Amino acid sequence: MSKANKQKLLIIEDDLGLQSQLRWHFDQYEVIVASDREEALAAVRLHEPPIILQDLGLPPDDEGVEEGFRCIREITSLSPAAKIIVMTGNSDYENAVRAVAMGAYDFYQKPVNADTLDLILQRAFHIYNLEEQHRRLQEQQQAPLSGIIACDPGMLKICRTIEKLAPTNVTCTLTGESGTGKEVLAKALHRLSPRAHNRMVAINCAAVPENLMESELFGYEKGAFTGANKRTLGKVEMAHEGTLFLDEIGDMPLALQAKLLRFLQERKIERVGGREEIPVDVRVICATNKNLQEMVKQGTFREDLFYRICEMEIHIPPLRERYGDKLLLARHFLRMYTEQNSSHVVGFSPEAVEAIETYDWPGNIREMENRVKRAVVMADDKLVSSQDLGIAPTGESLNINLRHVRQNAERAAILRALTMTESNISATAKLLGVTRPTLYDLLKKYNIQVPGGAHDIQE
């Protein structure tokens, strides 16, 4: 088997003789060796081995800290998917159990029995490969629609809405900040519709000069104006039996809005310089990053047109409000651009992951794609750093402790229920779906003071 096809095994052992024997015995693997914690961490960063065989009895550092346990903790943080098998002395069972509690996959007690160790390693590689397949399947499931990467509940709900709307002719307007993926969702609407075999024609209302917008939309007849040397079809006619995508419709000139409204009502157009009414069968999808309702109040957008294009309005949340989507999208773009550029980059450093999660992403998905693309080109190491991304570390730690999250949610729910029931204990317990004794325990647990005392409330 060539070295490229061999699975990687990292052996952390300070005894050079045993290190040499293990390297020789495990010649079916690509063996990487390290003698101490620093070498081990460097090897994990460089090679990303799926399985690590570590001697728990590494000598302590200058300050007397147990290097073996420290090594497990740091490797687990650096490469959570890796399987660490610790080797301990024959009478060191307690430390072996402690190592497993810290995140090690399994342990093996010396002296080394080659056959037993082979079986432990084979099982570890098998489990790792199964978990890797599971991770890939999960990533595939996190693409709810073709071209859309999301796991945020709000975005998944939007994807279900797109699926329901696609077979209809309902005029949809997609709203949201620039870079949130409005055009991607518009394409998904078209692709899932019965019109998918016909064209989707897009026009950016903000990019076309006001004096050319009408002819761009509806076309023109020969001689309609200077330079009109032949009859030219507009975007609306070109989209016949397909989909017309009006991007940035909030920037459409007010004078042209009346003509667009007439077309939407009658589904007929007149070319500039022409008198013939031409019926057009087209599904219309609009998008804007502006607040159309506010524009209606200010008189810069027609109210009747607003209600015509918003038969269904879909608001796309900004990336900063999508729970779980930041890292999911970042990894998607990383895979895409490492393949395109044949890059050596394999992932994000822990510091980069933290930066991705805590950064606000004012430019949303478009900004993320650009930053990751640049980072893949500029990265010197196998792991992209926050410096490669151009994001300064905030120093803010990520609060993803499940127990804390659950406690905060419970406390917030109790306070909300008390407010809704005007601090009536029976009504609060009923609203929360718990018994009164359980509610009293929760009030005590979260130190929630009820006016008048919980036992004295008139119920």
Average pLDDT over residues 239-265: 93
138 domain residue, yes or no: no
Which of 315, 347, 368 is at the close of a domain? Answer: 315
CATH number at 434 reads: 1.10.10
Residue 350 has pLDDT above 90, yes or no: no
Q: Are residues 105 and 217 part of one domain?
A: no
Write down the mean pLDDT value for the chain: 86
Q: How confident is the model at residue 402 (pLDDT cuts 50, 70, 90)?
A: low
pLDDT confidence of residue 458: 39
pLDDT confidence of residue 400: 53
Mind listing the pLDDT tens digit for each residue in 354-364? Answer: 889 889 999 99
How far apart are the two ends of the chain, measured CA to CA in Å?
Answer: 77
pLDDT confidence of residue 459: 38
Q: How confident is the model at residue 323 (pLDDT cuts 50, 70, 90)?
A: confident
Q: Do residues 175 and 289 lie in contact, with contact meaning Cβ atoms separated by under 8 Å?
A: yes
Residue 14 has pLDDT above 50, yes or no: yes
148 domain residue, yes or no: no
Task: Describe the strand order of the beta sheet including 83-88 as a list of residue ranges.
Answer: 30-34, 8-12, 51-55, 83-88, 106-109
Residue 454 has pLDDT above 60, yes or no: no
Per-residue CA distances from 70 to 32, 60, 75, 294 (Å): 20, 10, 9, 58
Mind listing the pLDDT tens digit for each residue in 356-392? Answer: 988 999 999 999 999 999 999 998 888 898 999 998 7
Mind listing the pLDDT tens digit for each residue in 140-187? Answer: 555 567 778 887 888 988 998 999 999 999 999 999 999 999 999 999
448 domain residue, yes or no: yes
140 domain residue, yes or no: no
Pick the residue with more confidence: 283 or 88?
Answer: 283
**Helix or strand (DSSP H, E) at 8:** strand 8-12
pLDDT confidence of residue 53: 93
- Percentage of residues of the chain with pLDDT beyond 70: 90
Pick the residue with more confidence: 176 or 445?
Answer: 176
Q: 76-85, 183-192, 417-426: which range is least confident on average?
A: 417-426
Q: Are residues 433 and 295 part of one domain?
A: no
- Residue 284 burial (10 A CB sphere; 0-12, 13-18, 19+): buried
Residues 6+ apart with CB under 8 A from 56: 68, 69, 86, 87, 88, 92, 95, 96, 99, 107
CA 35 to chain centre: 38
Query: Alpha-carbon distance 46 to 149, whole Å?
Result: 29
Question: In degrees, to the nearest 5, what angle opens at C-alpha 339 toward C-alphas 336 and 340?
Answer: 85
Strand ranges for 56-125 from DSSP E: 83-88, 106-109
Kindly calculate the radius of gyration of the chain based on its CA atoms and give it in whole angstroms: 31
DSSP letter at 449 equals P
At residue 409, the 3 state secondary structure works out as: helix
* DSSP state string for 261-304: HHHHHH-EE--BT----EE---EEEEEESS-HHHHHHHTSS-HH
142 domain residue, yes or no: no
Q: How confident is the model at residue 111 (pLDDT cuts 50, 70, 90)?
A: confident
Query: Alpha-carbon distance 330 to 336, whole Å?
Result: 10
Q: Are residues 271 and 167 part of one domain?
A: yes
Residue 4 has pLDDT above 80, yes or no: no
436 domain residue, yes or no: yes
Reading the block at residue 410, the tokens are 């419970």
Average pLDDT over residues 217-228: 87
Pick the residue with more confidence: 446 or 122?
Answer: 122
pLDDT confidence of residue 11: 93
> How many residues comprise the chain?
459
Q: How confident is the model at residue 110 (pLDDT cuts 50, 70, 90)?
A: confident
Which structural domain, as residue segments, surrounds residue 335?
A: 321-389
Reading the block at residue 13, the tokens are 């052992």
Q: Are residues 288 and 409 part of one domain?
A: no
Q: Are residues 308 and 166 part of one domain?
A: yes
Pick the residue with more confidence: 372 or 116?
Answer: 372
Residue 64 has pLDDT above 70, yes or no: no
Residue 412 has pLDDT above 70, yes or no: yes
Reading the block at residue 244, the tokens are 């017309």
Q: Are residues 178 and 114 part of one domain?
A: no
Q: Are residues 203 and 91 part of one domain?
A: no
Closest by Cα among 341, 334, 342, 335 to 388: 334
Q: Are residues 343 and 426 part of one domain?
A: no
- Percentage of residues of the chain with pLDDT beyond 90: 42
**Greatest CA separation for the chain:** 98
Which of 285, 315, 345 is at the close of a domain? Answer: 315
User: Within a 10 A sphere around the Cβ of 14, how many other Cβ atoms?
Assistant: 15
Which of 274, 293, 315 is at the close of a domain? Answer: 315
- Residue 270 burial (10 A CB sphere; 0-12, 13-18, 19+): middle
Average pLDDT over residues 177-198: 94
Q: Are residues 412 and 377 part of one domain?
A: no
pLDDT confidence of residue 396: 53
262 domain residue, yes or no: yes
137 domain residue, yes or no: no
Query: Alpha-carbon distance 297 to 292, whole Å?
Result: 9
Q: Are residues 168 and 297 part of one domain?
A: yes
pLDDT confidence of residue 456: 39
Pick the residue with more confidence: 285 or 92?
Answer: 285
Domains contained in the chain, number = 4
Q: How confident is the model at residue 455 (pLDDT cuts 50, 70, 90)?
A: very low
CATH number at 7 reads: 3.40.50.2300
